[in-house]
């Protein structure tokens, strides 16, 4: 062991920097923090909408109008929309990374995912903020 190690980075002539940024660390942390919030938000939503007091059978336009007359439920639904979409989108991004075999497949699946996420986030936010209980049929 007297000789110094001459083989620096064997078998990898060009090794990219292991990490360019901490994005994956932040997304890992985000999955856990948003997950905890979603346990309350989503299970509460499912309980109220599907189980409590007749469940899905009492849901109609008037029911939605009654709920969204309260800023509390507006904020609940807005937080749930954003956290669920980002949490689920990040999960699907990981799954695409795991299973897509070609770089082009991976790229286009992610583009499809990001477009779908943007459409749902914009549409959902707009619906919550512009909801009109007196809309004419």
Residues 6+ apart with CB under 8 A from 89: 113, 114, 117
Give the shortest CB-2-to-other proteins separation in angstroms: 34
Residue that is written with structure tokens 């109609």 in the block: 60
Contact range with other proteins by CB under 8 A, out of 1-9, 10-18, 58-66, 102-110: 58-66
- Reduced to 3 states (helix: H, G, I; strand: E, B; else coil), residue 76 is helix
- Reduced to 3 states (helix: H, G, I; strand: E, B; else coil), residue 50 is helix
Interface with other proteins (CB under 8 A), residue from 22, 26, 44, 61 = 61
**Encoding tokens for residue 59?**
């849901």
State the residues that interact with other proteins by CB under 8 A: 32, 35-36, 38-39, 42-43, 46, 50-52, 54-57, 59-62, 64, 81, 84-85, 88-89, 91-92, 94-95, 97-99, 116, 120, 123-124, 126-127, 130-132, 135-137
């Amino acid at each position: 062991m007297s000789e110094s190690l001459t083989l620096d980075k064997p078998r990898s002539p060009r090794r990219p920097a292991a990490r360019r940024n901490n994005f994956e660390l932040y997304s890992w942390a985000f999955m856990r923090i948003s997950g905890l919030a979603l346990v309350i938000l989503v299970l509460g939503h499912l309980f109220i909408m599907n189980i409590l007091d007749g469940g899905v059978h009492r849901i109609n336009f008037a029911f939605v109008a009654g709920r969204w007359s309260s800023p509390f439920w507006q904020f609940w639904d807005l937080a749930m929309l954003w956290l669920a979409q980002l949490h689920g989108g990040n999960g699907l991004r990981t799954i695409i990374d795991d299973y897509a075999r070609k770089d082009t497949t991976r790229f286009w699946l992610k583009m499809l995912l990001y477009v779908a996420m943007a459409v749902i986030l914009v549409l959902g936010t707009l619906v919550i903020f512009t909801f009109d209980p007196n809309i004419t049929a």
